[in-house]
Each structure stands twice: as C-alpha cells, then as structure tokens.
Amino acid sequence: MEFMTMTPELLETEHICCALGAKAYEEAVSGKKSWLKDRMAEGLVFYRLNERAKVFIEYLPAEAAWVPVDAPNFMMINCLWVSGKYKGQGYGRRLLEHCIEDARNRGMDGIVHVLAGKKMPYLSERKFFLHHGFRIVDEAGPYYELAVLQWNDSAPQPLFRQEARSLAVDQPGIVVYYTQQCPFAFGVLQEWRAAAAERGIPFCAHLLNSREEAQRAPVPWTTFAFFYNGKYVSHEMMSRGKFERMLDGMPGGNQ
C-alpha cells in the first residue's frame, strides 16, 4: 500500500485519518485542517497511508511544536497512529523511518516524542519507541516521559520546560487546556460542559491559540489536559459517562 504526504492543497479534498470517527465531525475536521495548514508553513509533515484508515505520522521541528519542550534542532513527533487491522504489519516502522530520514536530511540532531510511563489512551505505545532506539531523558508529572532518538551526541539533551512541570492552575472547577491538533476534543468538550453544568461545577475550556502560549502551558502534553480545583487530573478525552463517574467520585463533584 502507498503512503502520501498531505499538502495544503490536498487538505481541501482528502480526509485526515486522525479525524475519522470524531464527534462534531464537520467542526472537528475544519479546525484540524486549518491548524494543519498553518503548521505546514512552519515545517509540519502529515504523512499517511493512502487508505481510509488511521495510519499516519504527524511531526514538525521542535522549535515550532506546540509542546513545552526545549529541543533545538530536533524533530518533534506529535502523533504516530496505526489502528485496527493495520497493526502488526510494519506500518508503524515505515512511518517512523520516514520521519527519521526527513530529520536527517534537514540536518537535525534527533527526534523527540512525549510518551507515558504506563499504557495510556491517546499517547503512543512506549515499547514501540524504546524498541526502535529511543531512550527516556526526562520525566514530568504523574506519568509523562520525554523520549529521544539522538544521533548527534554533542547536541544538548532535550528537556521538558519548567512551566510544564507545575501541573497546576489557579482556578476552581474543571479547567481544560487543548489545541486544535486533535479533532476528538470538540465533541468531548460539549459533553463535558453539559455534565459539569448539571452538577453546578464551574467549567472553563482554554483553547491554546499560539505556539508561544502552548509552550508556556502548565502541562507536558498540550493537545488535551484537564484540571479539577487546581490540580492536574489527566489528558484522557473521556466519554461523558466516564467523566461523570469521575466527577461524582471527587469531593464536591456531585453537588
């Protein structure tokens, strides 16, 4: 099967596989495509299987990434996703090899990616990256890890920014930080807002609108992260039912 590199022109006619199955589909796709088009001007690559499937990699220079990581002259992988029947057929390796070749051709020192120290939804499979030579060079919060594949040993080691280590906000109720990078956020936020309103819990969804704002975020993974009464909870885009059960189990959550 063939792979294709998405371009701003192709975004007008081709699907972006990460949006397949997303709730609030039209709004989700529109927001993601707009975000991608702007990032492509900054060096982002969206490389996917030429099939209607979630098999793709999205990456860009770390200096331009919407992630609070210091990694000058490294490539940042936003997302690498192989799902369903396409697993176990070498597609993940081929996607990663494409990124490595591109980073080397651009004269970069290596690749960075945010992982989790345990299996978590929406974050890449840790063992896959370790198997392909990545090593963990930094940690933040309850489970975030910074994985690096580095071929220039004289380059400074990438690290999470200090802001990302706070994992706290000075605001009551539910506070969500998110970007337009993941189209699944749109439908989730609508459901969460309604669930919080039914319980009288303040709800604030904070869309990160610039790279500078995202790089100052109080959490290592800015695609989606939420806090409850000032404390970090998770990055998981939970179903409404799971979110409601979580709220009802917290102090004051079923008020």
Residue 138 lies in a domain: yes
Task: Give 56's strand partners.
Answer: 48, 81
96 with 48, same domain?
Answer: yes
Range of the domain at 226: 164-248
Q: Enumerate long-range contacts of 93-97, CB under 8 Å, 24 or more apart.
A: 93/132, 94/3, 95/3, 95/47, 95/55, 95/56, 95/57, 96/57, 96/132
Q: Answer whether residue 89 is part of any domain.
A: yes
Within this chain, do residues 186 and 131 fall inside the same structural domain, yes or no?
no
Specify if 254 maps to a domain.
no
What is the pLDDT, as a whole number, of residue 19?
Answer: 66
Whether 120 is in a domain gets the answer: yes
Between CA 162 and CA 218 the distance in angstroms is 9
Name the DSSP class of 74.
E
| Confidence check: pLDDT of 187 > 90 | no
Give the domain CATH number at 169: 3.40.30.10
Asked if residue 114 and residue 32 are part of one domain, the reply reads yes
Per-residue pLDDT tens digits for 131-162: 999 999 999 989 999 999 999 999 999 999 99
Q: Domain count of the chain? A: 2
Instruction: Indicate if the pLDDT at residue 254 is higher than 90.
Output: no
Q: Where on the phi/psi map is residue 61: left (φ > 0), alpha (ψ -120 to 50), or beta?
A: beta
Q: Would you tell me how many other CB atoms lie within 10 Å of the CB of residue 249?
A: 9
In the chain, how many H helices and how many E strands? 6, 13
Residue 82 lies in a domain: yes
- 18 close to 54: Cβ distance less than 8 angstroms: yes
- Does the pLDDT at position 226 exceed 60? yes
Give the other-Cβ count within 10 Å of 251's Cβ: 8
180/144 same-domain check: no
Q: With 80 as the cut, is the pLDDT of residue 27 above it?
A: no
Can you give the CATH number for the domain in which 128 is found?
A: 3.40.630.30
pLDDT over threshold 60, residue 39: yes
Same domain, 144 and 47: yes
- Which residue, 110, 128, 161, sits at the end of a domain? 161
Residues 11 and 64 in one domain: yes
Q: Are residues 157 and 171 in the same domain?
A: no
Assign 242 a pLDDT band (cuts: 50, 70, 90). very high
One domain, residues 64 and 135: yes
